[in-house]
Amino acid sequence: MLSNGRVFPDYESAELGIATQLAIKSISKATGATQKEIGKKFTSLGDLGLVVEHFASDKKQATLGSEHLTVEKVFKVIQEIAKQTGKGSQERKLSLISSLITSATPLEAKYLIRTLLQQLRVGIAEGVIRDSIAKAFGVSPQSVERAWNMKSDFSEIALVAKKHGEDGLKKVKLEIGKSVQVLLAEKSPDLKTALDSFDNPAVEWKMDGMRCQIHKQGNKVLIFTRRLENVTHQFPDLVKLVQKYVKSEECIIEGETIAIDKKTHRPLPFQVLSQRIQRKHEIGRMVNEIPIQINLFDVIYVNGKQLFGEPLKYRRKILERIIKPSDEFRIIGQLVTKDLKKAEKFYKEALKNNQEGVMVKNLDAIYIPGRNVAGGWLKVKPTMENLDLAIVGATWGTGKRSGWLTSFVLAVRDPDTNRFLECGMMSTGIKEKKENDTDVTYESMTKMLKPFIEKTEGGIVRIKPKIVIEVAYEEIQKSQNYSSGFGLRFPRFVRIRNEKSERESETMERIQKMYDMQKKV
């Protein structure tokens, strides 16, 4: 787990809760450097791992007699850090972190801090760990991946591979309470192509919400996101719905949770629901302010039986059998057809109801967790016209992006006030290294934007709106997070519009028009 910068598997809700400021205080306590000195060094290096390595090299001789660190000891201390809650928890965390740094060599201290901040940056992704386990214990990468898809914990999978080899990996089964890698959909260019891809297609609304994997065992309920994050604490109302409307003793079901307007009862954009996903406090207030509805679409486990090998049409019947539907907790509507006109009508209804589009699913396909599966699910969404937007801010990068501007703040122009209003933040589409002549890198963007920097506060930079870029995106949404009142979902850099001045960037009127148009597609 530590090799890819993580301490706990995805399905565990435990968190280290170590912010940058706590790390700086810990480095100060362990090395004797002042917090001001550490902050200044952090600004120049952009990596607290390098910062602690620098100051740890100057530690007094008295610290050299500290206890020698082992991986086991480090892991136990990190787990102890995660257990610290309540009054005085920050001081206890501070003491534990500084004790690790005090006992560490400068190089060890660098990787300790990076691990604690979950910013290890050694390039070890899941595929590397999978192949390493396979090579170490003489098993196939395919068997390791299959087992990991079931349990999402490489430490457990490595232990099985070591003790029981290939046969043991093949016997790994999912467990209630341990999230399973979800089946993903591929994108289809249009609805006709999607319908023609399957002999037995069904069309469902693609909801603009949070994909949920719900585990139920008796009265115990756990909720995981598409990324396998445990969000049970944030959704006590969903827990109660599961307890009330799911009739089976044990099951793992999937659905899409959406936010609902309290007055109109119409679906709200995902960005409204996202306020609840990250919320740690005042949960009751958020439950009241942002009510939810869940639309279930699949079941992969019921009362001891895995359903991966069963076709969707059979899984759907099982789902219908174990659910008592209500207005808040229901099975998603489904249209079984190859008729393009009927499917198009269904698609337009989805867009009219503020949804993303539709899913076209093969009713004969089995459920294969962990990847996009050809012949399984296809998503169809409207393609929106690109926008020309001004860059008005950015964030100084850290780690391997240190010294470069990243996370660029995008803005539209209000002709009435001549102000530029924020509408999103973008990083996707910019390259770290130039691969061909047309590539734009973080370095080249930084050189271009530096002359227009107006203000810097910490790592946040305000930029005079002089550079216009073309941006692709999936959708325009209403958003309280940006001054324009709109937010771009998944914005992606396309190209620099050198031929355009900031006066020629998109206006508020244009954004409003594009927002209205996408609801009519």
* CA–CA separation, 409 and 390 (whole Å): 8
In one-letter notation, the amino acid at residue 482 is: Y
Query: Residue 374: what residue type?
Result: A
Judge whether 36 and 42 are in contact, CB under 8 Å.
no
d(Cα 434, Cα 191) in Å, to the nearest integer?
36
CA distance 213 to 299: 9
Specify whether 206 is catalytic. yes
- CB under 8 Å to 231, separation ≥6 — which residues? 210, 223, 224, 225, 277
- Report which DSSP code applies to 61: G
- The helix (H) or strand (E) run that includes residue 43 is helix 35-45
Tokens 């396309």 sit at which residue? 494
- 476-479's contacts with Cβ under 8 Å and 24+ in sequence apart are 476/384, 476/511, 476/514, 476/515, 476/518, 477/269, 477/270, 477/271, 478/269, 478/271, 478/515, 479/269, 479/271, 479/423
Largest CA distance in the chain: 79
Q: List the catalytic residue out of 206, 216, 361, 381.
A: 206
Long-range contacts of 445-449 (CB under 8 A, 24+ apart): 445/404, 445/405, 445/408, 446/403, 446/404, 446/405, 448/496, 449/391, 449/394, 449/405
Number of other residues whose CB lies within 10 A of the CB of residue 496:
16
What is the sign of the dihedral through the CA atoms of 337, 343, 349 and 352? positive
Q: What share of the chain is helix, strand, coil (3-state, %, to 5)?
A: 40, 25, 35
CA distances from residue 156 to 2, 169, 492 in whole angstroms, order as listed: 13, 10, 37
Dist. CA 483–CA 118, nearest whole Å: 31
What's the CA gap between 279 and 105, in Å, rounded? Answer: 37
Which tokens sit at 160?
Answer: 């099985």
Q: Is 218 left (phi over 0), alpha (psi -120 to 50) or beta?
A: left
User: Which residues are part of the catalytic machinery?
Assistant: 206
